[in-house]
Amino acid sequence: MIYSTEDVHPRERLSYWLEVATRGYVEHEFRAEDANTFSGTVEISALPGVSLATFDAAPAHVRRSERSAARADSGDVLIAMQQTGESLVSQDGHDSVLRGRGMFLVDPLRPFNIDLKTYCTSIVIRVPRTTLEARLGNFAGLTARPITAATGVSALAMGFLELLPDQAGRLDDVAGLKVAEQMLDLLALAFTESRGAALSSPRAVALLRLKGTVERLLIEPGLKPERVAAEAGISVRYANALLAEEHTSIERYIAERRLERCRGALDDVGHAHRSISEIAFKWGFSDLSHFGRRFKARYGLTPTEYKRRVGQRMAEQPLVRTDGAIEGLTHDTLVASEHA
């Protein structure tokens, strides 16, 4: 889907941007450097478990306040890759200036500021928190830290990420899942390298490979520890020993990741048309009763209750009518450039 201010009356462009173009991301305050000349475009696409948005925007100030962060229940983390322009990002006492190509990470659970100093083009991805933690561990020290194309790993990660918005829609679910995992592995390596962590630890490499294997095979019903360990090139005993350091095992880790994938699908407006059973079966559950019990034990709500709550939350957001207008703004002054 593409949203653009190009065909919107100049007086309504900023309202359109605030109400429609950025509504799918975390709550924030947005102030244009010049409200009279502001322009922007956002193109939304997705891979399994990961959403992508390509932003073009004129100079502006983005602020995630303490109040917004405090009431958030964000299971996602934002990773932005700036392609052109200059920006300043601040979080957790870190202030970084990006000029041209570069990446940074921000955590919606804490306040942050992003100042677009010039007209900027960026790709922003929403990554499930648990997915990123599985690869990076505690990433608090990485927020607002700039990643540039100075090294081979970071340059490769950014080059890979730049290809995805145009190609995501051409991939089926299986290929899309594999590509998403490859992208997240590359991003994790780039961020890990930036903080000087040792990538050569055999246990660390084995754990990363093990978790990547689980993500790749999650869609297989009846997935067994033996299959995962064999694909990862280690024994079941060693795999469980690696995961024991995180107080889990292969079987529990598989179940947890499947629940997270299902929760992510129920949270995603792009999957609103899918039934609960379709989502559960897609991520490897074969018994809906078992899935319902595990989901409620993990999140405190049945899948039906959770989906209803998400629907209610989406209903409270600004309404976009099928004629392209926003509720409260006239059709004559506001035309959405949306293409499925």
Q: Tell me the pLDDT band of 196, cut-offs 50, 70 and 90.
A: low
Mean pLDDT score of the chain: 82
Euclidean distance between CA atoms 284 and 278, whole angstroms: 10
Burial annotation 35-57 (CB, 10 A radius, 16+ → b, else e)? eeebbbbbbbbbbbbbbbbbbbb
Tens digits of residue pLDDT in 263-275: 888 887 667 788 9
Give the pLDDT of residue 186. 86
Euclidean distance between CA atoms 154 and 201, whole angstroms: 20
- The model carries a pTM of 0.62
The answer on pLDDT for 334 being more than 50 is no
Across the range 164-181, mean pLDDT stands at 86
Give the pLDDT of residue 336. 33
Considering the domain 24-195 in this protein, what is its CATH number? 2.60.120.10
* Strands annotated E in the chain: 2-4, 29-32, 40-47, 50-57, 60-64, 76-84, 86-91, 94-99, 102-106, 112-116, 120-128
The answer on pLDDT for 43 being more than 50 is yes
Q: Tell me the pLDDT band of 314, cut-offs 50, 70 and 90.
A: low
